[in-house]
Amino acid sequence: MIATLSIVRYPVYFGWAGFLSMALFRLPLWLSGNIQFYKLMGCGRNGTFDKTPDWRQWALLTISASVNAGHRPTFIKLWWKFFGVEIWELQLEPIEGHGTWDGKAVFGTLPKQSNYEGPIGILTRATIRPSQLGRFWSHVDAIAQQMAGADGFVTSVGIGEVPWIKQATFSIWESKENMRQFAYKMKDHAEVVKKTHQEKWYSEDMFVRFKPLKSTGTLNGKLPFEIK
């Protein structure tokens, strides 16, 4: 199973085309016999984890049986080419994780741990309970700032299906150990994780780790992550 994540950025004044694509892309994705699961998502301001949408930046995640089966439908590729979008695309192999997305284990049955220790991609996503929105968003900025300054942090992007409520973060780290140091040994982050369970912030959540297989294209003029 292979996940393909495309982060696309439209030229100035063409953000409306990105918004429109969230509706138009559903049919070709649904008709594609090779795509097992897909999500069309927006991004936070400047691509970060933020309540304010970035109307120029959008995301497409697909899951396919193999790398060769993960190609984008022709209509989507032509749309992106016509509007001159900037594309950063990652091919990812899910290796560890738990949780569900729309009630499904979309990445299959994964172990909680594996022997892989190289560069790693992390997807965390959740459906936030309306009663807990204030609690959730009050902690976002502090954690994001800590993550950006953590040892081994490479890059991240905030993505989501529904503003405020259905949110996700995809981040890349130089190694699993770097990610562990941030996730479990940074006090503020560990406290927030504890609160999410104790106070039941989420009605659904998912945490998946990936082995990056391929990273191509650019975002804001540069390749955010290079596989060496």
Q: Is residue 78 part of a domain?
A: yes
* Six-digit token string for 91: 């091919």
Q: Is residue 227 part of a domain?
A: no
Beta strands in 23-152 (DSSP E): 35-44, 53-64, 86-99, 120-128
Q: Is residue 228 part of a domain?
A: no
Cα torsion 184, 53, 225, 220 to 10°: value is -150
* DSSP string computed for 154-212: EEEEEEEEETTTEEEEEEEES-HHHHHHHHHHSHHHHHHHHHHHHTT-EEEEEEEEEEE
Q: Is residue 225 part of a domain?
A: no
The amino acid sitting at 29 is L
* Six-digit token string for 81: 């080419």
Helix (H), strand (E) at residue 75? helix 74-82
Q: Is residue 167 part of a domain?
A: yes
The amino acid sitting at 164 is W
Domain extent, residue 205, equals: 2-217
Q: Is residue 92 part of a domain?
A: yes
pLDDT tens figures, 149-163: 788 899 989 898 877
Q: Is residue 223 part of a domain?
A: no
Q: Is residue 48 part of a domain?
A: yes
* Six-digit token string for 93: 């192999």
Q: How many domains does the chain have?
A: 1
Cβ atoms 10, 85 nearer than 8 A: yes
What's this model's pTM, rounded to 2 decimal places?
0.89
CATH of the domain at 110: 3.30.70.100
* Six-digit token string for 9: 């950025």
pLDDT tens figures, 14-32: 999 999 999 999 999 999 8
pLDDT tens figures, 106-163: 998 898 888 888 899 999 888 888 777 777 666 666 676 777 778 889 998 989 887 7
